Structure 1
């Protein structure tokens, strides 16, 4: 057997290929019985995918009301401001109020459909630049493939809900990626952003723990701060300052989900002057205090 020593010779073609690097990172995946889903003006720095097995759920974005049905999944990009409710038990007109419990193998879903909203949800990130797409709520019809994957995932979640095996992880990621292929091309305009903007975005991701100034970031691409700020706003539809804040809060949510770090530790690790400054920014972005977010009282 003869081994190839030069790595570039592993591909016999001289044609260079460019692939899009999609960094799917899972935050949570749950299957719940909800008896209250009064959440108003939620804004979070991650993608959300929702499916309800029964009717009665609503999503509201700006002036559009989505009556959720079992034949569709609903995908919500990061930093979309939206509200939700369960029409059979609608109590609150502001704030975030969620009540429910995890489904398990002892539950008979058919008997519970008239008492609860049977709710599957996933939170995830896709990485730069795909977490900066335009906000909105995307209604996607369930294909046979998606139905099959969804049936597997919801059944497994009733059995295991913490330490997932490789098969579950692969099928969950395949489900999300297949759902994303059904999104129209207009959503993915961020992959064609100006190279100078993309260079700064990558710098922000690597240095998210530091205090970043407009002067420092614009100097990376040899532009005046005001000129680069205008370019960034034109390309990303958000100011450079707000983008940095959004990415810091996105990172803080990830730390809250996957570590036991305190609010003080997270604020320090992300370059905020103190916990109080961090808390003000966190609430301005998400509508929740860091303590409320850590409690997990939302879906």
Structure 2
């Protein structure tokens, strides 16, 4: 008979296990018919999963074009500069333009399929370091199990798209996790980054409202500022300064979505010198002004 080694865990084994903590935060999940989906150079600090029931949707990442297939899901990682369009109604070459409405059981989907894009999407974050992977669009085959989950979610969204039951939340989380688990292993190399970079990464996340200097961050891991800056860029494929700005803007987007704080308050609390400096950085990262983001005009 073996005695329990860790009483507080009820674990009878002496072998230590290491788990990766994924902190999934749901932001939105919707099922719409879209007459217009002209969105250009979108860059936002959250993950997206897209699925179109019918053909006609298109995604672009630099020179790569994805003609969206109903048999596939499309995953967009955070801070990916991409564009989207509904080819039957393509009007714009810049800006973010969306026209549509949520679907319900009062709507005849077959009617809308002839003139609209039947579109499912969900936005979410995974927490550090998974929100800082390489930018990209990933095409995932709809397995029978994923399709079953997708059908459950879209049917529930047609019943109620505001007040979700616990079952819906769990099914959505399961669907997201299964979908992203199908992305190739090369995407997740950030979980194996140098321990010194990871220490600083976690410090930045925990102190994102502070003014963070290269010298102070390098001192956390006992390195010279220039040496650490080179190490960080090699490991994260991004300069340290740009990374900090991206994380501050990501925090700002979260605050805009979940609080009533003003732009001035958020810019001050995130360590920017003034609203104008914050607005310049916000637009450089996302492509739109903080006022447009806060008001929801980007949708």
Shared fold, TM over 0.5? yes
2-structure distance, mates of 1:171, 1:298: 28
Aligned-pair distance for 1:298? 4.3
- Alignment deviations for residues 104-155 of structure 1 (CA, whole Å, 9 cap, x no partner): 2211111110111111111111111111111111000001111111111111
SS in 1 for 2:74: strand
Structure 1: 4+ residue segments shifted above 3 A: 4-9
Task: Please name the residue that 1:67 is paired with.
Answer: 67
Aligned-pair distance for 1:6? 6.0
User: In the alignment, does 2:296 pair up with 1:296?
Assistant: yes
Task: Please name the residue that 1:170 is paired with.
Answer: 170
- Alignment deviations for residues 246-265 of structure 1 (CA, whole Å, 9 cap, x no partner): 01111111111112222122
- Alignment deviations for residues 12-40 of structure 1 (CA, whole Å, 9 cap, x no partner): 10100000111111111111111111111
SS in 2 for 1:197: helix
2-structure distance, mates of 1:193, 1:173: 26
Aligned-pair distance for 1:96? 1.1
Alpha-carbon contact 1:98-1:297 (below 8 Å) kept: no
1-structure distance, mates of 2:116, 2:67: 16
1-structure distance, mates of 2:173, 2:141: 18
SS in 2 for 1:59: strand
Task: Please name the residue that 1:119 is paired with.
Answer: 119
Task: Please name the residue that 1:278 is paired with.
Answer: 278
Task: Please name the residue that 1:251 is paired with.
Answer: 251
- Of 38-47 and 153-162, more deviation after overlay is shown by 153-162
Aligned-pair distance for 1:297? 3.9
**What CA RMSD, in Å, does the superposition of the two structures yield over aligned residues?**
1.4
Listed as ranges, the gaps of 5+ residues in structure 2 are none
Alpha-carbon contact 2:5-2:14 (below 8 Å) kept: no
TM-score normalized by structure 2?
0.96
User: In the alignment, does 2:182 pair up with 1:160?
Assistant: no
2-structure distance, mates of 1:41, 1:6: 51
Aligned-pair distance for 1:9? 6.3
- Alignment deviations for residues 170-203 of structure 1 (CA, whole Å, 9 cap, x no partner): 0000000000111110111001000000000000
Aligned-pair distance for 1:222? 0.5
Alpha-carbon contact 1:27-1:254 (below 8 Å) kept: no
Pairs within 5 Å for 1:201-280: 201-280=201-280
Task: Please name the residue that 2:186 is paired with.
Answer: 186
> For residues 55 and 218 of structure 1, do their structure 2 counterparts lie closer, same or farther at Cα, with a shift above 3 Å needed?
same
> For residues 37 and 9 of structure 1, do their structure 2 counterparts lie closer, same or farther at Cα, with a shift above 3 Å needed?
closer
Task: Please name the residue that 1:13 is paired with.
Answer: 13
Listed as ranges, the gaps of 5+ residues in structure 1 are none
1-structure distance, mates of 2:142, 2:113: 20
2-structure distance, mates of 1:266, 1:245: 14
Alpha-carbon contact 2:5-2:13 (below 8 Å) kept: no
SS in 1 for 2:17: coil
TM-score normalized by structure 1?
0.96
SS in 1 for 2:173: helix
Number of residue pairs the alignment of both structures matches: 296
